[in-house]
């Protein structure tokens, strides 16, 4: 993995050497093994390298044979050997063994459509001198982030917003619509970011800039015709395709390992790695002492590691470490992601980076396979929609009166909307509209309309095949995953100069998986039904039968003690963050949570993270 940036000065003075050096330095943690700054007329390409493939010869930028096209890339192209053979047969000449060199030759051969030939995780910028065109792209599932801005004749693209800040190319300010999104969904959907004037390139998208202007174009592909085979056959094929995906993503010229919890997804990856290699893989986990097996998974992970035969290592996070980790983590995340597990992932990444440069993780398994409680809600949406409004209102009121049962309250709120899309989107909400209105007086209606528009665009891929469960799984995979969990997965690992790969989102595997009907992936209310069937006899029974626990921290308990006090401090009267969030409402929510009258942990964590982000990037002490 690497850090990339591109500056196109079509109507501005060229960026100074001092500014370019600042960009390099800001991306150094993403690529400590090398750096380059290359000017091509109005375009400048910046690269910091984390050497994984072709350690000696893979420095970037990588150029075409005629020297007219140049690329800087962050990521891995898992099918690069097949593509290399195809491109060499078409007459292209390669000068390195780097997997990323296929990008520049694929562009020569197929133009911007080259991205549809790549199976990998990537964010790249390519300058085409002949056409005077800059092309930037983000991979199909958004595993690697890419940001951009346009101002006063200058276009900037980079792996991290910090590149723009370091060179004083933007003035940080809060995007109020994004804040509304964040307090609704725990993340900011692309193309917005929490920084006003800075956009995030959506997953499966291209940015094209030339003399005619700048265009963002999606290359997301609809799932295709549904598979009609029997579940037994689909399960067998899923197992085989999954193992092949893990094998593809083990390509490396440096040591690698895997994150291993006590759960099913990471166990499946560890088994597949064991079956794809002669040596047992290294595995890493983190736990939380004193919080029981549901949160401290070290003993379960150790048991799984022993049964599979991995070389296992564990570390721990104490309550007192959390705020320090959060402060450092937020600076690397650059955007609030609403994931209370991010600080633990940040610590785990540093721990793993002491032994390896690459890890495989289970991120991306739950969204397409149906692993969350919200997918059960999606399976029941048609039934929920049939409840008469006269009955719905008293049911909602009764649920709201029950203390601390947030799951019941969220389920009851699904009875309120009359519009189907609103009901689907409400499944993902972490706080009701009245609470959000008391917290902030931002453009709530405009933000709601924008969320509906973004979701409708994604769901158009499904056409008439979009039953409620299919819609929830598809939105989770293509809208929520790229800009939330994958964003924090990339940022927390790359902060430690560690490459994180996600085999469940392998393009070939996902092309098969998304053709399986949603009602086969989730049968009735049984989450991950087909997937669990596929892994029966493949993973240890203890991992298969262990109750699902998401990777999480004990932040629910901590908000009754240290984190509750931290929120009181951060939202004290007169604090700068009060310009955006009402401190009185924050204190009310904290008090209710502390006294056990309500379960506000999700929105409280978002408020905590936003305050840390605001202090780091807006107040900039």
Q: Which of 312, 290, 292, 288 is nearest to 301 (CA)?
A: 312
Q: Which of 589, 438, 193 is nearest to 608 (CA)?
A: 589
Confidence of residue 400 (pLDDT cuts 50, 70, 90): low
218, 251, 277 — which closes off a domain?
Answer: 218
Q: What is the pLDDT of residues 571-615, one digit of tens each?
A: 998 999 999 999 999 999 999 989 888 889 999 999 999 999 999
Residue 112 maps to a domain: yes
DSSP structure string for 363-420:
TTSHHHHT-SHHHHHHHTHHHHHTS-HHHHHHHHHHHHTSTT-HHHHHHHHTTS-SSH
Same domain membership, residue 134 and residue 8:
yes
Q: Which of 297, 262, 259 is nearest to 281 (CA)?
A: 259
What pLDDT does 466 receive?
77
Residue 34 maps to a domain: yes
Domain count of the fold of the chain: 4
Residue 226 maps to a domain: no
Q: Which of 358, 485, 488, 490 is nearest to 50 (CA)?
A: 358
Confidence of residue 472 (pLDDT cuts 50, 70, 90): very high
Let me know: does 494 contact 353? Beta carbons within 8 Å.
no
- Do β-strands 62-63 and 69-77 pair in parallel, antiparallel, or remain unpaired? antiparallel
Alpha-carbon distance values, 382 to 166, 210, 244, 528 (Å): 50, 47, 37, 20
Residue 583 maps to a domain: yes
Same domain membership, residue 515 and residue 586:
no
Same domain membership, residue 278 and residue 359:
yes
Distance of alpha carbon 480 from alpha carbon 462, whole angstroms: 17
Identify the CATH number of the domain in which residue 321 sits: 3.40.50.620
Residue 190 maps to a domain: no
Distance of alpha carbon 474 from alpha carbon 452, whole angstroms: 15
Same domain membership, residue 151 and residue 82:
yes
Tokens of 235: 């399960």
H or E stretch including 594?
A: helix 583-594
Residue 391 maps to a domain: yes
Let me know: does 163 contact 27? Beta carbons within 8 Å.
yes
Residue 191 maps to a domain: no
Q: Put the strands of the sheet holding 2-9 in their side by side order.
A: 34-40, 43-49, 2-9, 154-158, 147-151, 199-200
pLDDT at 552 over 60: no
Cα dihedral 328, 329, 332, 335 in deg (nearest 10):
-120
284 forms bridges with which residues in the sheet? 259, 313
Residue 524 maps to a domain: yes
Same domain membership, residue 461 and residue 598:
no
Q: What is the pLDDT of residues 277-318, one digit of tens each?
A: 999 999 999 998 876 666 788 999 999 999 999 999 999 988
What pLDDT does 599 receive?
87
Confidence of residue 488 (pLDDT cuts 50, 70, 90): very high
Distance of alpha carbon 502 from alpha carbon 268, whole angstroms: 12
pLDDT at 402 over 80: no
Q: What's the domain range around 424?
A: 373-477
First to last CA, the chain: 31
pLDDT at 51 over 80: yes
Distance of alpha carbon 508 from alpha carbon 123, whole angstroms: 19
Confidence of residue 17 (pLDDT cuts 50, 70, 90): very high
Confidence of residue 399 (pLDDT cuts 50, 70, 90): low
Q: Which of 157, 119, 67, 59 is nearest to 508 (CA)?
A: 119
Same domain membership, residue 597 and residue 542:
no
Tokens of 146: 């890419």
Same domain membership, residue 62 and residue 124:
yes
DSSP structure string for 34-78:
EEEEEEETTEEEEEEE---SSTTT--S-EE-TTS-EEEEEEEEET
Compare 290 and 485 and report the one with higher pLDDT: 485
pLDDT at 268 over 90: yes
DSSP structure string for 476-522:
IIIIITTTTHHHHHHHHHHTTT-EEE-GGG-HHHHHHHTTS-HHHHS
Please compute the mean of the pLDDT values over residues 88-107 and round it to a whole number. 97
Same domain membership, residue 114 and residue 11:
yes
Same domain membership, residue 6 and residue 145:
yes
Please compute the mean of the pLDDT values over residues 145-169 and round it to a whole number. 97
What pLDDT does 620 receive?
84
Query: Cβ neighbours of residue 567 under 8 Å, at least 6 residues apart?
Result: 559, 586, 587, 590, 604, 607, 608, 611
Alpha-carbon distance values, 121 to 51, 115, 269, 352 (Å): 15, 11, 18, 20
Q: Is 345 exposed, middle or buried (0-12, 13-18, 19+ CB in 10 A)?
A: buried
String of b and e for 256-285 (b: at least 16 CB within 10 Å)?
bbbbbbbbbbbbbbbbbbbeeeeeebbbbb
Tokens of 555: 């932040």
Collapsing DSSP to helix, strand or coil, 203 comes out as coil
Q: Which of 149-163, 343-357, 416-430 has the lowest mean pLDDT?
A: 416-430
Q: Does residue 191 have a cis bond before it (omega within 30 degrees)?
A: yes
Q: Is 209 exposed, middle or buried (0-12, 13-18, 19+ CB in 10 A)?
A: buried
What pLDDT does 401 receive?
60
Q: Put the strands of the sheet holding 133-138 in their side by side order.
A: 62-63, 69-77, 120-128, 133-138, 205-210, 213-218
Marked catalytic residue, from 2, 24, 69, 329: 2
Alpha-carbon distance values, 220 to 80, 195, 202, 458, 612 (Å): 20, 25, 10, 9, 34
Same domain membership, residue 212 and residue 117:
yes
Distance of alpha carbon 242 from alpha carbon 273, whole angstroms: 11
313 forms bridges with which residues in the sheet? 284
Q: Which of 50-59, 89-98, 523-532, 581-590 has the lowest mean pLDDT?
A: 50-59
What pLDDT does 315 receive?
95
The whole-chain average pLDDT of the chain stands at 92
pLDDT at 388 over 80: no
477, 512, 542 — which closes off a domain?
Answer: 477
Distance of alpha carbon 173 from alpha carbon 195, whole angstroms: 6
Please compute the mean of the pLDDT values over residues 161-185 and round it to a whole number. 97
pLDDT > 70: percent of the chain: 93
364: left (phi over 0), alpha (psi -120 to 50) or beta: left
What pLDDT does 194 receive?
98
Q: Which of 120-129, 387-396, 473-482, 536-545 has the lowest mean pLDDT?
A: 387-396
Alpha-carbon distance values, 357 to 179, 204, 257, 523, 549 (Å): 35, 26, 8, 39, 27
Identify the CATH number of the domain in which residue 43 sits: 3.60.20.10
pLDDT > 90: percent of the chain: 79
Is position 2 annotated as part of the catalytic site?
yes
Same domain membership, residue 343 and residue 256:
yes
620 forms bridges with which residues in the sheet? none
DSSP structure string for 147-202:
EEEEETTEEEEESSTHHHHHTT-S---B-HHHHHHHHHHSS--TT--SBTT-EEPP
Same domain membership, residue 76 and residue 143:
yes
Let me know: does 120 contact 79? Beta carbons within 8 Å.
yes
């Amino acid at each position: 993995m690497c850090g990339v940036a591109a500056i196109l000065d079509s109507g501005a003075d060229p960026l100074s050497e001092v500014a370019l050096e600042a960009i390099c330095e800001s991306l150094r943690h993403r690529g400590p093994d090398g750096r380059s700054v290359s000017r091509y007329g109005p375009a400048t390409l910046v690269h910091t390298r984390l050497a994984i493939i072709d350690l000696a010869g893979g420095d970037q930028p990588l150029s075409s044979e005629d020297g007219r096209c140049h690329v800087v890339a962050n990521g891995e192209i898992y099918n690069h050997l097949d593509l290399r053979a195809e491109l060499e047969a078409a007459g292209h000449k390669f000068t390195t063994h780097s997997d990323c060199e296929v990008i520049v030759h694929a562009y020569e051969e197929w133009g911007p459509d080259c991205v549809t030939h790549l199976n990998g995780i990537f964010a790249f910028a390519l300058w085409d001198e002949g056409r005077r065109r800059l092309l930037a792209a983000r991979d199909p599932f958004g595993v690697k982030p890419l940001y951009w801005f346009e101002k006063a004749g200058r276009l900037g693209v980079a792996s991290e917003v910090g590149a723009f800040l370091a060179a004083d190319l933007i003035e940080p300010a809060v995007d109020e619509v994004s804040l509304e999104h964040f307090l609704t969904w725990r993340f900011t959907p692309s193309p917005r970011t929490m920084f006003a004037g800075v956009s995030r390139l959506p997953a499966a998208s291209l940015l094209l800039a030339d003399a005619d202007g700048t265009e963002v174009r999606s290359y997301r592909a609809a799932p295709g015709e549904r598979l009609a085979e029997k579940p037994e056959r689909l399960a067998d094929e899923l197992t085989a395709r999954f193992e092949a995906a893990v094998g593809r993503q083990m390509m490396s010229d440096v040591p690698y390992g895997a994150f291993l919890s006590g759960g099913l997804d990471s166990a499946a990856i560890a088994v597949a790695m064991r079956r794809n290699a002669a040596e047992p893989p290294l595995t890493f986990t983190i736990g939380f002492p004193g919080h029981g097996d549901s949160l401290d998974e070290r003993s379960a992970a150790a048991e799984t590691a022993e049964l599979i035969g991995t070389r296992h290592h564990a570390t721990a996070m104490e309550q007192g470490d959390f705020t320090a980790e959060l402060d450092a983590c937020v600076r690397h995340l650059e955007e609030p992601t609403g994931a209370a597990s991010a600080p633990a992932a940040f610590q785990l990444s540093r721990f793993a980076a002491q032994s390896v440069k690459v890890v495989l993780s289970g991120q991306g398994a739950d969204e397409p396979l149906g692993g969350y409680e919200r997918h059960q809600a999606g399976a029941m949406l048609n039934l929920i929609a049939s409840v008469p409004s006269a009955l719905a209102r008293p049911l909602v009121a009764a649920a709201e009166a029950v203390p601390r049962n947030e799951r019941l309250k969220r389920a009851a709120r699904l009875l309120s909307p009359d519009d189907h899309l609103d009901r689907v989107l409400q499944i993902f909400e972490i706080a009701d509209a009245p609470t959000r209105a008391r917290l902030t007086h931002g453009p709530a209606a405009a933000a709601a309309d924008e969320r509906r528009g973004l979701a409708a665009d994604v769901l158009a891929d499904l056409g008439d095949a979009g039953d409620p469960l299919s819609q929830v799984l598809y939105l989770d995979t293509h809208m929520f995953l790229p800009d939330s969990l994958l964003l924090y997965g990339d940022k927390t690992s790359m902060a430690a100069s560690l490459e994180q790969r996600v085999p469940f989102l392998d393009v070939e595997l996902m092309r098969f998986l998304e053709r399986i009907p949603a009602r086969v992936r989730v049968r009735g209310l049984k989450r991950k039904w087909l997937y669990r069937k596929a892994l029966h006899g493949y993973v240890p029974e203890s991992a298969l039968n262990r109750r699902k626990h998401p990777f999480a921290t004990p932040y629910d308990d901590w908000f009754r003690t240290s984190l509750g006090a931290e929120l009181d401090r951060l939202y004290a009267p007169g604090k700068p963050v009060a310009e955006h969030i009402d401190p009185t409402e924050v204190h009310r929510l904290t008090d209710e949570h502390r006294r056990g009258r309500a379960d506000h942990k999700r929105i409280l964590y978002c408020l905590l993270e936003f305050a840390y982000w605001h202090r780091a990037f807006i107040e900039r002490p």
